[in-house]
Amino acid sequence: MAMSATTKLDAVNTMLSVVGESPVNSLTAVTADVRIAESMLDEISREVQSIPWHFNTSFDVPLAPDSTGHVNLASNIVRVDLEGTNVSADYDIALRGTKLFNRKTNSYTITETLKYTTVALLEWEELPENAKRYIMIRAARVYQDRMLGSETISQFTRGDEMAALIALREFEMDTSDYSIFDNYDVAKIVDRNSVINRLDRA
């Protein structure tokens, strides 16, 4: 049988196995434990993807105001930043809900099309395998912590979680061509309160 990428069902079954539950054949007709596991998998996926990884970040995205002068975003956009060439005294953009807010004018009104960097939450099937594995193992550890609270199992899965995070960071470095000014090692020193560092401490 040919190998294939990790499915969401695979991930949920891995989470169930950590707490000694039997695997399921589908995510449609499920028990409460399976629903909790799937919900927690989505929770951890949102947490991890809130970081601007190479795979969920888009550059030079033109966003135009609608007829009311508002820029409305898709519900999966979690981070927006003006590109450097667009920065001017007229704009200080913040994301509020699914709209862009101009702090300079204290309003949602934006008068022109500008280019932004956006970070999006991707569906499970769109994620690279390294991201799936890290999210799955982290979710399994958190699921176990909340459902059983076994320190022994938690320590075991925490080691797997760290190995998966290292693999994800190596994948990120290989695919995104970071320079010395924006690689993870430098970022961790410059911004000790970043989400990257908080993932290490979680």
- Sequence-distant (≥ 6) Cβ neighbours of residue 153 within 8 angstroms: 18, 144
What pLDDT is recorded for position 180?
A: 59
> 67-81, 86-100, 155-169, 171-185 — which one is most confidently predicted on average?
67-81
Q: pTM of the predicted model, to two decimals?
A: 0.81
Of the candidates 130, 131, 116, 118, which has an alpha carbon nearest to the alpha carbon of residue 46? 131
Share of the chain above pLDDT 70, in %: 83
Q: How confident is the model at residue 90 (pLDDT cuts 50, 70, 90)?
A: confident
How far is it, in rounded angstroms, from Cα 195 to Cα 135? 15
| pLDDT band with cut points at 50, 70 and 90 for residue 41 | very high
> In which residue are the tokens 């076994």 written?
150
Nearest to 135 by CA among 167, 182, 177: 167
Q: Do 114 and 82 form a contact (C-beta atoms < 8 A)? A: yes
pLDDT (mean) for 146-156: 75
pLDDT at 148: 80
